[in-house]
A and B are shown apart, each in its own frame.
Chain A
């Protein structure tokens, strides 16, 4: 039976980041990926003959600085653009620069929120603080000192904002409805929340802490390939098409894994970068867990509300701006809220809101010459509609209608459309409920509450098992931060 110090399950950004950190820490690491390619939600797919696009995530946003420093991604052939400006198309289009500037009140608000985000950002790369003993007080003191140095006015402002809804802030601080809509859209992108849901400003601060969003050349699959090369360079053994069906438990400890082929791998530690619920309920099984823990796991919310659309175009779309921009189709705060209302009842909104990229504007090789692809994240799509096929058709129609309005004539250019509803995303990427964050990212599921208190510091409620997916702090996005943090926690204990 082959053995390894550590087996990492799941080859997404978090699994790869975790494996890289562990290998650099001296462990013998085997990473197991069920699919033929690593990458998880970071992938490039050919969705129609000759048309390629990032299969799920489509921006490099918040890639962990420790991971970047430890890997020569450029040397592995990975390149991304500078942070993208955002354009709000329409009769009166408006472009907001990637960082700093923009209209007066927007710029003032971004400075203010940016200060808060910068002070909170270090929390992302720490294990979540614990109520009570066992904290890394030196690191936490740094965060606390940063907040204290902010001064009373800023701290009071942060306390006021931290659980507020983003719509109130938008309406208080911004005069231009288009900018209010942009703030409301970005705060709720990927969330199960409308702009008037509490805690949405906090989600925006988290987004700001990720820094600028950059477009990957060749799609997100290139990033996955570069991370794979970096992992192998660090000594990680990577096995693809290796689906784990069970985590072996003996003597009340995770001892290894069993693959779909029946093969078993022994390990001193097992790290799962899969969905925490799938890991614990499915791979470990309730028999090895306490009933209270089983209850916690069953209570984890998985409300995917974002759909992904890939559209092949025979010509350049007419968004009325530089196609290398990020386009946000959200005319008003109310429009975002109205797009959220129906999904609460499993229904499809008439006017979805969307983030649109034209990847071929950065890398023309993704489509036949002169042709383009659109990569669209559209909200809000129901994750469990009564009639999935009808919902998918209706949602696709609604998105295409919104796109046609933003880029007149687009309908006539369409060669192919692929829609991934949350259920499709769940099936294709193992994201339960279509939740991009492996469980809702919301104030009540952050820090020591993510995924639930007993598993908040990457240590699963089973000795020898660690959780490293976006289900853990600090949550989702192709960042590798949770995976890196998990590796740090494991190495600290093993030392």
Chain B
């Protein structure tokens, strides 16, 4: 019988912990799905600046990872997720999402096609029971490999140069492409909206990878970052986060809190013609009737971040909630992701009410907000192949 000792380590250290612990001199940690993850390495502003101007390393190891393999993997994943998996070439990645029977989002994530019949699904939440039940009737094996695979996000305009210096030739790697170098895999993916890569390694080789990248990246000022800086970058890029910008359907206690991909602005990825997938019938019906709430991007006047603000129509009627927000140093704007009542999702009469705590007193601001397309920040260098030699 396996010794049950997991409770002795209620928060798990990452395979990179020996290096991260030494660098995180402020001990600014935050939990991420049961793992110890850095919130910052002491200076959030410098870390944000490095994402947009240099190169950064972020420990992705706590990301939940599943290996899905077998002759039925494509069919199973096409039934599970809303995007067309059969059309995803080997060696490519796509951003995708999956729903329950009611068409409500269970999670979003990235799907890697490693071989014709082998995939890796990366996501925020744990889904093994759902995946196993979704595999009934398909010739496929599913295993969680979160612990086995360590990963680093190497992001920023200089990231390709750092990888090149570390001996990984990524000059021909297009966005959402995968390249393998021995046990190490590099994908041109990320959560910053910038030029960037994710580097995957067996957990046992994590420290060697860290040392190799840090040594190679020194001339570009490669620095570790925490989740606070990443959060700013991902808001600028317009990416949503489970638990912040949507409530995963399996966790929603209140019946009206779960949302569909149509409501969350992910309708573009749904392949209606690929055959049946989970939630398709409910989503078809919703496509006719419209949703209840819509996730939109907002640009807000002023320079105060609007975290948790309430959105009003004509300053009077409450029509929504800000789910993520920040002052964006790159665009020099106050940006937000917000849920709005469906019928006001394109309104030009929106205001947000911001409560800014200033020395124990709330300063209440009512600022004009405009619905704008996402991403807020669209950098050509994110797509350029070969990548720019910064």
Asked if chains A and B come from one complex, the reply is: yes
What residues make up the interface of A, taking CB atoms closer than 8 Å to B? 252, 281, 285-295, 298, 454, 463
What's the nearest-Cβ distance from chain B to residue A277, in Å? 12
Q: Please, which residues of chain B bring their CB within 8 A of the CB of A454? A: 101
Closest 9 CB pairs of A and B: A286-B137, A292-B101, A290-B101, A291-B134, A286-B136, A290-B278, A288-B276, A291-B133, A291-B278
In the complex, the answer to whether A287 meets B137 with C-beta atoms within 8 Å is yes
Docked pose: A287 CA to B75 CA in angstroms: 8
Main secondary structure of the interface of B (DSSP, over half): loop
Q: Which residues of A contact B120 (CB under 8 A)?
A: none
Known pairs A252-B276, A252-B280; A291 contacts B137 (CB<8 A):
no
Q: Mark B137-150, 1 if CB is under 8 A from A, else 0.
A: 11000000000000
Contacts of A290 in B (CB 8 A): 100-101, 278-279, 281
**B276 neighbours in A (Cβ, 8 Å):** 252, 287-289
Q: Which residues of A contact B136 (CB under 8 A)?
A: 286, 294, 298
B348-382 contacts to A (CB < 8 Å): none
Between A and B, 12 residue pairs with Cβ closer than 8 Å are: A252-B280, A287-B137, A287-B138, A287-B275, A290-B100, A290-B281, A291-B80, A291-B134, A291-B278, A292-B101, A293-B101, A295-B133
Quick one: CB contact mask for B317-350 with A, threshold 8 Å, 1 for yes?
0000000000000000000000000000000000
Given A287-B79, A291-B100, A293-B101, the answer on whether A252 and B133 have CB atoms closer than 8 Å is no
Output the nearest chain B residue to A297 by Cβ-Cβ distance.
B136
**B133–A294 contact, CB under 8 A?**
yes
Q: How far is the CB of A282 from chain B (nearest CB, A)?
A: 10
Residue of B nearest to A289 (CB): B276
Interface set, chain B 95-151, CB cutoff 8 A to A: 100-102, 130, 133-134, 136-138
A252: nearest residue on chain B (CB-CB)? B276
B58 to chain A, nearest CB (A): 32
- Kindly report which residue of chain A lies nearest to residue B75, judged by CB atoms: A287
Number of A-B residue pairs, CB cutoff 8 Å, is 44
Asked whether A292 and B100 contact (CB < 8 A) given A252-B276, A286-B136, A287-B138, the answer is yes
- B contact residues around A286 at 8 Å (CB): 79, 136-138
B278 to chain A, nearest CB (A): 5
Residue among B79, B134, B136, B138 with most chain A CB within 10 A: B136
**Distance between Cα atoms of A71 and B299 in the complex (Å):** 72
Q: Which chain B residue has the least Cβ–Cβ distance from A296?
A: B101
Whole-angstrom distance from the CB of B270 to the nearest CB of chain A? 14
Asked whether B133 lies within 8 Å of A285 as measured between CB atoms, the reply is no
Measured in the bound complex, the distance between the Cα atoms of B137 and A288 in whole Å is 10
Other A-B pairs beyond A291-B134, A293-B101, A298-B133, 5, CB < 8 Å: A252-B275, A281-B137, A286-B136, A292-B101, A295-B133
- Chain A: CB-nearest residue to B103: A290
Q: How far is the CA of A298 from the CA of B275 in the complex (A)?
A: 23
Knowing A288-B276, A291-B130 are in contact, say whether A252-B281 is a contact too (CB < 8 A). yes
Q: Which residues of B contact A (CB under 8 A)?
A: 75, 79-80, 100-102, 130, 133-134, 136-138, 275-276, 278-281
- Indicate the member of A285, A286, A454 with the most B CB atoms within 10 Å: A286
- Complex Cα distance, B102 from A290, in Å, reads 9
Closest residue of A by beta carbon distance from B102: A292
Task: Tell me, in angstroms, the Cα distance from A432 to B24 when the chains sit together.
Answer: 61
Tell me the nearest residue of chain B to A291, going by C-beta. B134
Q: Which of A252, A288, A291, A293 has the most CB of B within 10 A?
A: A291
- Distance between A243 CB and nearest chain B CB, rounded to angstroms: 20
Q: Which of B102, B134, B280 is packed against the most chain A CB atoms within 10 Å?
A: B134
A285 contacts across to B, CB distance below 8 A: 137
A289-B130 Cα distance, complex, nearest whole Å: 14
**In the assembled complex, which residues on chain B have CB atoms less than 8 Å from the CB atom of A252?**
275-276, 280-281
Determine the distance from Cα of A298 to Cα of B136 in the docked complex, in whole angstroms. Answer: 10
User: Hey, which chain A residues are within 8 Å of B133, CB to CB?
Assistant: 291, 294-295, 298
Q: Which residues of A contact B80 (CB under 8 A)?
A: 291
Residues of chain A contacted by B75 (CB below 8 angstroms): 287
Q: Which residues of A contact B138 (CB under 8 A)?
A: 286-287
Determine the chain A residues whose CB is within 8 A of the CB of B278 once the complex forms.
290-292
Assembly CA distance A454 to B279 (angstroms): 13
Cα–Cα distance between A298 and B281 once the two chains are bound (Å):
21
A295 to B137, CA, bound (A): 12
- Tell me the complex Cα distance, A286–B72, Å: 13
Min CB–CB distance B281 → chain A (angstroms):
7
A138 to B276, CA, bound (A): 37
Chain B contacts of A293 at CB under 8 A? 101
Q: How far does the alpha carbon of A281 sit from the alpha carbon of B137 in the complex, in Å? A: 8
Cα distance A286–B132 in the bound complex, in angstroms:
12
How close is B267's CB to chain A, nearest CB, in angstroms? 18
For residue A292, which residues in chain B have a CB less than 8 angstroms away from its CB? 100-102, 278
CB pair B101 A291 closer than 8 Å: yes
Residues on A with C-beta less than 8 A from B134 are: 291, 294
Complex Cα distance A345/B138, Å? 33
How near does chain B come to A274, taking the closest CB pair, in angstroms?
Answer: 18
What residues of A have a CB within 8 angstroms of the CB of B102 in the complex? 292
**A289-B137 Cα distance, complex, nearest whole Å:** 11
Q: Determine how close the nearest CB of chain B comes to the CB of A162; give it in whole angstroms.
A: 27
**In the bound complex, how far is the Cα of B282 from the Cα of A463, in angstroms?**
12
Residues on B with C-beta less than 8 A from A298 are 133, 136
For the complex, give the distance between the alpha carbons of A287 and B137 in Å.
7
Cα distance, A219 to B276, chains bound together (Å): 46
Q: Output the least CB separation between B288 and chain A (Å).
A: 15
Bound: A300/B137 CA distance, A: 17
Residue with the greatest number of chain A CB neighbours at <10 A, chosen from B75, B80, B100, B137: B137
Complex Cα spacing A315 to B75, Å: 63
Count chain B CB atoms within 10 A of each CB in A288, A454, A463 and give the residue with the most: A288
Q: With A and B bound together, what is the CA distance between A41 and B275 in angstroms?
A: 37
A347 to chain B, nearest CB (A): 28
Nearest A-chain residue to B279, judged by Cβ: A290
Given the complex of chains A and B, what is the CA–CA distance between A293 and B280 in angstroms? 13
Q: How far is the CA of A288 from the CA of B75 in the complex (A)?
A: 11
Cα–Cα distance between A93 and B347 once the two chains are bound (Å) = 83
Which chain B residue lies CB-closest to A295? B133
Q: How far apart sit A396 and B101, CA to CA, in the bound complex (Å)?
A: 46
Please name the residue on chain B nearest to A293 by beta carbon: B101
Docked CA distance A285–B138 (Å): 10
Contacts of B281 in A (CB 8 A): 252, 290, 463
CB closest chain-B residue, reference A251: B275
Closest to A463 in B: B281
Which of chain B's residues have a CB closer than 8 A to the CB of A289? 276
Cα A291 to Cα B278 in complex, Å, equals 7
B279 contacts which chain A residues (CB < 8 A)? 290
Q: How far is the CB of A133 from chain B (nearest CB, A)?
A: 14
CB distance from A378 to the nearest CB of B (A): 36
Q: Please measure, in the bound complex, the distance between the C-alpha atom of A291 and the C-alpha atom of B276, giving whole angstroms.
A: 11
**How far is B100's CA from A288's CA once the two chains are assembled, in angstroms?**
14
**Closest residue to B249 on the A side, CB-wise?**
A292
Shortest C-beta distance, A158 to chain B (Å), equals 31
Closest to A288 in B: B276
In whole Å, how far is A294's beta carbon from the nearest beta carbon of chain B?
Answer: 6
Measured between alpha carbons, how far is A252 from B133 in the docked complex, in Å? Answer: 21
Give min CB distance, A81 to chain B, whole Å: 48
CA distance A261 to B138 in the complex (A): 25
A209 shortest CB reach to chain B, Å: 33
CA distance A294 to B138 in the complex (A): 13
Q: Considering only CB atoms, which chain B residue lies closest to A249 in the complex?
A: B276
Closest residue of chain A to B280, judged by CB?
A252
- Give A252 to B275 CA distance when docked, in angstroms: 7
How near does chain A come to B255, taking the closest CB pair, in angstroms?
12
Question: Complex: how many Å from CA A286 to CA B133?
Answer: 10
